Amino acid sequence: MPLFHRLVAGCILAASALFTSGCVKDHGIDPMPLRLLSFTDNTHRYDLRFQADEDLLSLFERHTGNGQISERLVCALDGDENFDLEHVISYNLSGSPEFESRAADGSFNYLAQMSFSKTEPNRSTSTDLTRETIQRLLEKRTTIPCKLYITAFPYHAYFTLVMRIPVSVLLPEVDKHDYRPYIPPYVWAAPTLPDATPLAPFARQVEATMYSARLPITDAETGRALPRVAYVIQRKDGYLEYGTSDSEGYTHEVMSLTRETIKLYLVD
């Protein structure tokens, strides 16, 4: 078994043993409020800006000393307010937050690139909603509930307090959104690691020309975006970053202070 596969398998076994033995810990972090700043249409997605009293991207590191796995902002479109991770909110507006700036009062400003989606109960597929479906879901509501959750091993997930977004803010942006399907401009062939087989049907190697980037994940044969798939990003120094692509097939924001070559692999 290649080394990389052994590492992944070891992590899975360790996680399984921990969860089945009832050793998941309470993090003891109080849920904090989120404050909506704006919701605007953007190409192929929506920009949702919000504010929090603490740095959400280092919350567990500061409170528990452990790093985080993922952060996700999820809003329910159909009145479903069960935000438990075991439960799937079928009709949702969701995206991953990125730090944007500090406010004058010391608060933290975030940007989440959001998509309206329908997610199957088994999470096997997630499809973008049409303008008509979104309007139908929202027409009899005044607000929609949203929570941001953060996962960190070996703790229970952290959830913020509910943030309610007025429908009157959402609908004007939905009305002017471009709903033509997004087709990624490139398809990449699968390279191989030294002395190892590829981890997935395709992998991408890209040289970052800026300080940050969100990488699109596409099917090698059709060029279609691959949402909700697990991936690993290998940095120049060998550091591995794990994640799950969003509803439009994008990775989390990869950031670097210098130009570097990074590799993206799908995880079977």
Mean pLDDT of 43-52: 92
| Per-residue confidence (pLDDT) for residue 12, from 0 to 100 | 32
User: Is residue 97's pLDDT more than 80?
Assistant: yes
| Per-residue confidence (pLDDT) for residue 190, from 0 to 100 | 46
- Output the CA torsion 256→193→203→208 (10° steps): 20
| Per-residue confidence (pLDDT) for residue 10, from 0 to 100 | 32
- Residue 25: CB atoms within 10 Å: 13
User: Is residue 79's pLDDT more than 60?
Assistant: yes
- Residues above pLDDT 90, as percent of the chain: 44
Angle of helix 131-138 relative to helix 167-175, nearest 10 degrees, comes to 160
Element (H, E) at 15: helix 3-20
What residues are paired with 213 via a beta bridge? 254
pLDDT bucket at 74, cuts 50 / 70 / 90: very high
Per-residue pLDDT tens digits for 110-152: 999 999 999 988 888 888 899 999 999 999 899 999 999 999 8
| Per-residue confidence (pLDDT) for residue 31, from 0 to 100 | 95
Least confident of 2-6, 89-93, 178-182, 210-214: 2-6
pTM as predicted? 0.61
User: Is residue 161's pLDDT more than 60?
Assistant: yes
Query: Mean pLDDT of all residues in the chain?
Result: 80
| Per-residue confidence (pLDDT) for residue 181, from 0 to 100 | 58
- Residue (of 189, 194, 184, 224) closest to 204 by Cα position: 189
Element (H, E) at 172: helix 167-175
**CA geometry: angle at 4 spanning 253 and 225, to 5°?**
40
203 versus 262: the higher-pLDDT residue is: 262
| Per-residue confidence (pLDDT) for residue 88, from 0 to 100 | 92
Check residue 69 and report its DSSP letter.
-
240 versus 63: the higher-pLDDT residue is: 63
- Residues above pLDDT 70, as percent of the chain: 79
- Residue (of 44, 59, 153) closest to 97 by Cα position: 59
Q: Which residues of 213-233 are buried (b: 16+ CB within 10 A; e: fewer)?
A: bbbbbbebeeeebbbbbebbb
* Amino acid type, 70: S
pLDDT bucket at 17, cuts 50 / 70 / 90: very low
Mean pLDDT of 200-221: 63
User: Is residue 11's pLDDT more than 60?
Assistant: no
| Per-residue confidence (pLDDT) for residue 6, from 0 to 100 | 30
- For residues 70 and 150, is the Cβ–Cβ distance under 8 A? yes
